[in-house]
Amino acid sequence: MTGPHLVIVGGGFAGLTVARDLRHAPIKITLIDRSNHHLFQPLLYQVATAGLSPANIATPIRAILSGQKNVEIMMTEVTGVDTKNHLVLTQDRAIQYTQLVLATGSTYHFFGHDHWEPYTRGLKTLVDATAIRRKILLSFEKAEVETNPARKKFLLTFVLVGGGPTGVEMAGSIAELAHQALKSDFHHIDPKMLRIVLIEAGDRILATFPESLALRATQRLQAMGVEIQTCTRVQDINAEGVRWGDTRIDANTVIWTAGVVASPAGKWLGAQLDPLGRVRVNPDLTLPGHPEIFVIGDTACVHQDEKPLPGVAPVAMQQGTYVAKVIIRRLRGKLKPRPFRYLNKGNLATVGRSFAIADLGSFRIAGAFAWLTWLVVHIYYLIGFKNRLLVLIEWAWAYFTFQRGARLIPEGENSKNTD
């Protein structure tokens, strides 16, 4: 196909939405990603806690776009952008574009303490999730045969740094895994030995939720045995655990859920960035001075009602749909649409079995009905009928049997931070 060439960098929610919404557009599209799959990140914590297998929440990008004739897919690492000559630079070639969408996501943010990284693990990729799963499961295996009480306690202590939705969901899932799914499988581990600590720098967990719902989630976690430390800033993380002030927790497993920073895309562009490295964009999500370049998803800093939009999947998908509409209007010679505006359909977070919180605007609920709502929403947004069916079966099995099927520890699996 000759004519306009759109290059999309990033196969996450934002980039994939742009490509799919342009399936009938008369434009050549090249989608570039360093992975060959689209990852449903909201369920990544369930892979990390053995609730789901990696293949349940990841789908090859080529399979998703296989019927779309105007798309070519490249699996490679982007190293920069030449805005003057309209080139996307990769490890081995330069790709010409007429329009460019950067949707490159985010990575971990250690707030100036990058030396902590060898001793903890974030949760952004399948490699992260399977490494955390391996760490958790090996901790139980080692604790089962450990005769030293202090060492056993060390192995059975899990610390999560960051009380946002990911930290809360991870803490609840670890507690559920330990107290239910593994309780009958290990004969020399008393569930009372288990210690799960959730650390939050703010004055409460789930700061993006109404305080009443955050309180319900706090009460639920505490009932599951999770210790919650608020107003607590971690000062050190090393091989022995976590420290703040005069307090130290010896822990074999430390999971980082405290924050993220944007990808290097802003530096490629030489753009104006916010403190988290996100590109400050125009109201139509274009780069100032470059109407041919769109920046969306976690890579973009977009303010609405004087507040920055959160880096969540619904924002990314709505931005992707908006950009696709702008591109279609350009192809048809029409004026650009109104500035992008995010329609917040609500926030959801689950806390273990049969309990979730839901902030749906004026409608706020906590408990089993919110949990069912959470299930339906996540099944709906999964890509592919097969994944939806498999996840539904896994959840049903876990609900009725209290067992989790993805508890294998493959030999040779990425072993960073597992010993």
Q: What is the pLDDT of residue 350?
A: 95
Binning pLDDT at 50, 70 and 90, where does residue 417 land?
Answer: very low
pLDDT surpassing 70 at residue 393: yes
Q: What is the pLDDT of residue 272?
A: 93
pTM: 0.90
Q: How far apart are CA 227 and CA 356, in angstroms?
A: 18
169 noted as active-site residue: yes
Structure tokens that stand for 189 in this block: 């581990």
**Residue tagged 């655990």 (tokens):** 241
Mean pLDDT over 150-172 rounds to: 96
Dihedral of alpha carbons 195, 358, 46, 180, sign: positive
Domains in the chain: boundaries? 5-34+76-108+260-331, 117-258
Which residue in 232, 239, 270 sits closest to 254, CA to CA?
239
Greatest Cα pair distance in the chain = 74
Q: How far apart are CA 280 and CA 49, in angstroms?
A: 36
Question: Residue-wise over 337-356: b if at least 16 C-beta within 10 A, else e?
Answer: eeebebeeeebbbbbbbebb
**Superfamily name and number for 117-258:** FAD/NAD(P)-binding domain (3.50.50.60)
Structure tokens that stand for 60 in this block: 């090859």
CATH topology of domain 5-34+76-108+260-331: FAD/NAD(P)-binding domain (3.50.50)
Q: What is the DSSP string of 47-113?
A: HHTTSS-GGGSEEEHHHHTTT-TTEEEEE--EEEEETTTTEEEESS-EEE-SEEEE---EEE--TT-
The counts of H helices and E strands in the chain are: 11, 27
Mean pLDDT over 301-316 rounds to: 92
Beta-carbon contacts of residue 383 (< 8 Å; ≥ 6 apart) = 38, 40, 59, 64
Q: How far apart are CA 205 and CA 228, in angstroms?
A: 8
Q: What is the pLDDT of residue 405?
A: 63
For the ranges 174-178, 182-186, 294-298, the one whose mean pLDDT is highest:
294-298
Q: What is the pLDDT of residue 402?
A: 66
Beta-carbon contacts of residue 315 (< 8 Å; ≥ 6 apart) = 297, 302, 309, 342
Select which of 117, 141, 169, 413 is catalytic: 169
Q: Are the folds of 5-34+76-108+260-331 and 117-258 the same?
A: yes
**Residue tagged 């809360």 (tokens):** 168
In this predicted model, what pLDDT tens digit does every residue of 335-351 receive, in sequence order? 878 999 999 999 999 99
Which residue in 210, 220, 206 sits closest to 363, CA to CA?
210
Structure tokens that stand for 77 in this block: 């690492």
Contact call for residues 394 and 381 (beta carbons, < 8 A): no
Q: What is the pLDDT of residue 389?
A: 87
Q: How far apart are CA 209 and CA 349, in angstroms?
A: 9
Q: What is the pLDDT of residue 419?
A: 46
